[in-house]
Amino acid sequence: MAAGLRMDTKVPEKLHVDAFELRFADISEVSLSQLQALSMSVGWPHRSQDWQHLRDVGRGFVALDEIGRVSGSTMWFPHGENFATFGMLITAPRLQTNGTAEWLVTRMLAECHQERLRLNATRAARRMCATLGFMPQQTVFQCQGEVLSVPKIDSIKPGLQLRRLERGDLDVVAALDEPAFGAPRHQHLQRLFESSICYGLYDGEKLMAYSMRRRFGRGHVVGPVVAYCEEDAISVVHPHVVAHVGSFLRLDTHFGTGPFAGFVQQSGMSVFDTVTTMVSSERAAYGSPNTGSPIVFALASQSFG
């Protein structure tokens, strides 16, 4: 655990901000339309269906003002034992420089009770997260845009089979995913399976790579993607790109250069923004790409990791 991570701080139930008094409420107690309006106020593309997915698998709080307006949010998503990802930290534009975000995060830390935490911090939130004890790990490149063309790729190596995944493949997907993600997330993968088109690259009975694609925001998002190497990651992302020529596609990745990043960006998904993956300790980091283990090539989302 990072020495400075504050998880036992007493958090005031109300916060006085200029002429406002804010109070906490459970995120399940407010309407999806209120949550969507909050994310729209900061330019985030989440639909009400995206917020519902987040509430189905996560927990969180909102900040309400005296007349019941949602002025901020924060969520965490448990994965396995003593591990969680953290996201959806939003404060209304009028409250972004007065301590509301830190108040929300401190409440999240007090309630989450997980020893290992990982988050993706925007530029605005990075310094605050560092003061709370989180350490920067990697840059996330948010790649998105209209798919203009499909870059040519090498043929799949002899002996490998690329096919659509079915529910019966979920256990082997989870087994491949765990060392790459750094924790078991079987329940989250099961929920993603229900709303995604999935591909897997098999070598006989062994799964070498997988990818998922689902509706999100302005179009579709590709992720998670896990593979042992860039070539295999490209192979399982390729059919999603083919299916979306002429439409909007997004993929969030830690790869800013190299064959995988080149394939994504040549498809029309240019780098739109960056965030920083931060962790409570080294034990909360992603699996290392230098150990021969599978690697996360694309995040399920910036909140899920």
- Parent domain of 288: 142-298
Token pair, residue 2, equals 């990072």
Give 130's contacts (C-beta < 8 A, 6+ positions apart): 136, 278
- Same domain for 24 and 72, yes or no, is yes
CA max distance for the chain: 68
Q: Which of 133, 151, 168 is the last residue of a domain?
A: 133
Q: Which of 90, 113, 133 is the last residue of a domain?
A: 133
Answer whether residue 2 is part of any domain.
Answer: no
- Same domain for 119 and 62, yes or no, is yes
- Same domain for 73 and 129, yes or no, is yes
- Same domain for 115 and 187, yes or no, is no
- Same domain for 266 and 156, yes or no, is yes
- Same domain for 258 and 116, yes or no, is no
Name the residue among 11, 13, 9 with its Cα closest to residue 21: 13
- Same domain for 25 and 75, yes or no, is yes
pLDDT digits (tens, 9 = 90+) for 182-241: 999 999 999 999 999 999 999 999 999 999 999 999 999 999 999 999 999 999 999 999
pLDDT digits (tens, 9 = 90+) for 125-157: 899 899 989 999 999 999 999 999 999 999 998
pLDDT of residue 134: 94
Answer whether residue 167 is part of any domain.
Answer: yes
Q: Which of 98, 133, 168 is the last residue of a domain?
A: 133
Q: Using CA atoms, how far apart are residues 105 and 280, in angstroms rounded to an integer?
A: 13
- Same domain for 292 and 155, yes or no, is yes
Residues listed for the chain: 305
Q: What residue type is 3 in one-letter code?
A: A
- Answer yes or no: is pLDDT of 7 > 60: no
Q: Using CA atoms, how far apart are residues 274 and 272, in angstroms rounded to an integer?
A: 7
Q: How many separate domains does the chain show?
A: 2
- Same domain for 70 and 106, yes or no, is yes
pLDDT digits (tens, 9 = 90+) for 227-284: 999 999 999 999 999 999 999 999 999 999 999 999 999 999 999 999 999 999 999 9
- Same domain for 272 and 163, yes or no, is yes
H/E run at residue 32 = helix 32-41
145: left (phi over 0), alpha (psi -120 to 50) or beta: left
Q: Using CA atoms, how far apart are residues 105 and 87, in angstroms rounded to an integer?
A: 10
Answer whether residue 116 is part of any domain.
Answer: yes
pLDDT band at 17 (very low <50, low <70, confident <90, very high): low
- Same domain for 294 and 146, yes or no, is yes
Q: What's the pTM? A: 0.91
- Same domain for 224 and 164, yes or no, is yes
